Structure 1
Amino acid sequence: MIAPSIIRRQRIIVAVLIALAAAVMFISAGWGYSSLGYKRLLPVLFGHGTVKEDLILSIRLPRIFITFLAGMGLALSGAILQRVTRNDLADPGIIGINTGAGLGVALFFLFAPIEPGSFVYLITFVSFASAMVTALLIYLFSYRRGEGLQPVRLVLVGVGFSLSLSGIMVVIISSATREKVDFIAKWLAGSIWGTDWIFIWALLPWLVILIPFTLYKANQLNLLELSETVAVGIGLPVNRERVKLLIAAVALAASSVAVTGGISFIGLMAPHIAKTLVGPRNQLSLPIAILTGGVLLMAADMIGRNMADPAGIPAGTVAAFIGAPYFIYLLLKKA
């Protein structure tokens, strides 16, 4: 049974995070290379703006919502991976899943005879398929008979896969046209490329299905964090539940990075922040991790695009600048 004081604390934190998300959205909508006064935001939003103001908001709003939704997906993916593998260092970007998804996106973009806007709904499925193959290979190379899945080995194999796949992408794009090279280079850097409403509709169905599914499986995640012997003894079909949840984690990460680019460390930081705030019970920590991930990526993109006008710094670079030292700290702590 969860103590009422912890439940009350979780609800307060959720309310604060929702308010913080709204505040970041508001600041991000008005702050940019082309200034839009904050007093004008609501009038413009309700159709009382000038042509220039309408144009600015029509560009910024989809990007704000995309980063928020993608951050939610990456955070939940990282939380699932950390619970299922019992590895606090797991993150879809660090262990190579995002790069695997990116390789599929790059190949599809280079060799499919259609423009990016035409395959926006299909690109999430391509990303998912590529990420699933990568995740399976990482799992096979990390697993040792008699020893099982070792957390540190999983991270090392994943980092190796990530670097190898990034190298393959560089080789593949070496003979591509300048336009396609620019697109893939921006994707690798974590520059938000899906900045129109259609990308939100491509990502949203994945989140609408997988977020409730994962929250429903919160108790199974609690059990999977115990030793395998205990979980089996309680009656949990460990392998079946693990496979279901790993597929959900890969799908969340792949669909998110398909429309944002290669973003790492959001899935590492958000679950840890949530556990620090309300403890390890997934019924309490998962909603907080989801909201934290959305706020982190939204803030990273807002800061990045305003740090170096007019092109800005990719959100993935800002997230890495914050997350890399934290990853090193966790790695040293685990060693």
Structure 2
Amino acid sequence: MIIEKSRYRKHTLIFLIIVILTTLTVVVSLGIGDYALSYNNLIPTFLGQGSFKDEFVLFELRLPRMAITILSGMALALSGSILQGLTKNDLADPGIIGINSGAGVAVTILFMYMPIDSKTFSYLIPIIAFIGALITAIIIYFLSYKKNEGTHPIRLVLLGVGLSTALSGLMIVMMSIADRTKVDFISKWLVGTVWGVDWVFVMAIFPWIVILVPYVLYKANTLNIIKLSRDVSISVGMSIEKERLKLLLASVALSSFAVSVTGNISFIGLMAPHISKALVGHRNQLFIPISTLIGGWLLLLADTIGQHLLPSSSIPAGIVVSIIGAPYFIYLLLKNKK
């Protein structure tokens, strides 16, 4: 599809604005915390001319955490964009419809009942999370699917919310029989605490993001066609169910990899696509890149606020996102009922 020059210029401007906002948030976050890094020393520290303490705080504590939050936010936003396109449902989000909870249950089972090798744990987590999320997605898809009708949007959301609640309940049951250290992990995951904050977790997830983001952008026009109608898809020679399956797998992979290291974070995949559509329109080639960037910035901002809002303790990023996202979800739900 041809994109008008004026729309392309607007898209480029918004793209640059979000990149600038993300960069500013990173710079602000680098300088604040229990150990305040002087902004005058940031560049020398980056160049290896800072003190040992400055370099340790910057390279081993703050940068890997920011990398994880940005990558995870991007993955959740892209996953939500795919789901909304596949289901033709503006309320679809991997957290709301239970995919994230499925990943969380799988990670919890791994953490509680399987021997953990510290060398392979960080690389195994995304795979186990993907398996749990995929099983959940398949259950939701088949329960909400009707022959000759496809997936019913409201039914899918309601089933997803119900299954998400059930899986969260299952995690609480597992907490009741686990030892204290593992209970701490599960409880932190449930509230959306960013816990995989080492470079090894960044390296475990980064390759998947590098592969899946370009793939989804390549399939943007496929999503455009799927959103039109089944008849249109067939008329252009598209195997609609095959394409839906490929994109669903990509969505599940993105969300599961993200929550495997950030915990149960909802609403990023709901809000980012909506904000992007409001800015650049509904064409997937335009709004998906913006949505992906917005997702990374939103989660980074939420984590930064959560870490530094209270002087004596931190608030999980998932709670900060939910405070903003829950009212937005209610607004969209009421809007879709009209």
Q: Can you list the C-alpha shifts for 1:122-146, whole angstroms capped at 9, x where unaligned? A: 1100000110000000111111234
- Matched to 1:119, the amino acid is F
Tell me if 1:268 matches 2:270: yes
Taking a change above 3 Å as real, the CA distance of residues 116 and 260 of structure 1, as seen in their structure-2 partners, is farther
List structure 1 segments (4+ residues) > 6 angstroms apart after TM superposition: none
Q: Can you list the C-alpha shifts for 1:103-129, whole angstroms capped at 9, x where unaligned? A: 000000001111566410011000001
- Matched to 1:3, the amino acid is E
- Matched to 2:5, the amino acid is P
Which range moves more in the overlay, 305-314 or 18-27?
Answer: 305-314
Q: Could you say which residue in structure 1 is the equivalent of 2:101?
A: 99
Tell me if 1:329 matches 2:328: no
Q: Could you say which residue in structure 2 is the equivalent of 1:258?
A: 260
Q: Can you list the C-alpha shifts for 1:248-302, whole angstroms capped at 9, x where unaligned? A: 0000000111111111100001111111111111111111011000000000000
TM-score under structure 2 length normalisation: 0.97
CA distance in 1, matches of 2:126, 2:201: 10
Q: Could you say which residue in structure 2 is the equivalent of 1:47?
A: 48
Residues 139-218 of structure 1: matches in 2 within 5 Å?
Answer: 139-218=141-220
SS at 2:66 equivalent: helix
Q: Could you list the runs of 5+ residues in structure 1 that have no partner in the other structure?
A: none
- Matched to 1:27, the amino acid is V
Q: Could you say which residue in structure 2 is the equivalent of 1:128?
A: 130
Q: Could you say which residue in structure 2 is the equivalent of 1:312?
A: 314
Contact 1:124 1:203 (8 Å CA) reproduced: yes
CA distance in 1, matches of 2:313, 2:112: 24
The CA RMSD over aligned residues, in Å, is 1.2
Taking a change above 3 Å as real, the CA distance of residues 313 and 116 of structure 1, as seen in their structure-2 partners, is farther
Which range moves more in the overlay, 102-111 or 140-149?
Answer: 140-149
Taking a change above 3 Å as real, the CA distance of residues 193 and 230 of structure 1, as seen in their structure-2 partners, is same
Tell me if 1:12 matches 2:13: yes
SS at 2:177 equivalent: coil
Q: Could you say which residue in structure 2 is the equivalent of 1:66?
A: 68
SS at 1:174 equivalent: helix
Taking a change above 3 Å as real, the CA distance of residues 118 and 311 of structure 1, as seen in their structure-2 partners, is farther
- Matched to 2:167, the amino acid is L
Q: Could you say which residue in structure 1 is the equivalent of 2:86?
A: 84
Residues 218-237 of structure 1: matches in 2 within 5 Å?
Answer: 218-237=220-239
SS at 1:35 equivalent: coil
Which range moves more in the overlay, 180-189 or 37-46?
Answer: 37-46
CA distance in 1, matches of 2:93, 2:313: 28
Taking a change above 3 Å as real, the CA distance of residues 265 and 122 of structure 1, as seen in their structure-2 partners, is same
For these two proteins, the number of residue pairs brought into alignment is: 335
The percentage of counterpart residues that share the same residue type is 53
CA distance in 1, matches of 2:150, 2:296: 33
Contact 1:191 1:261 (8 Å CA) reproduced: yes
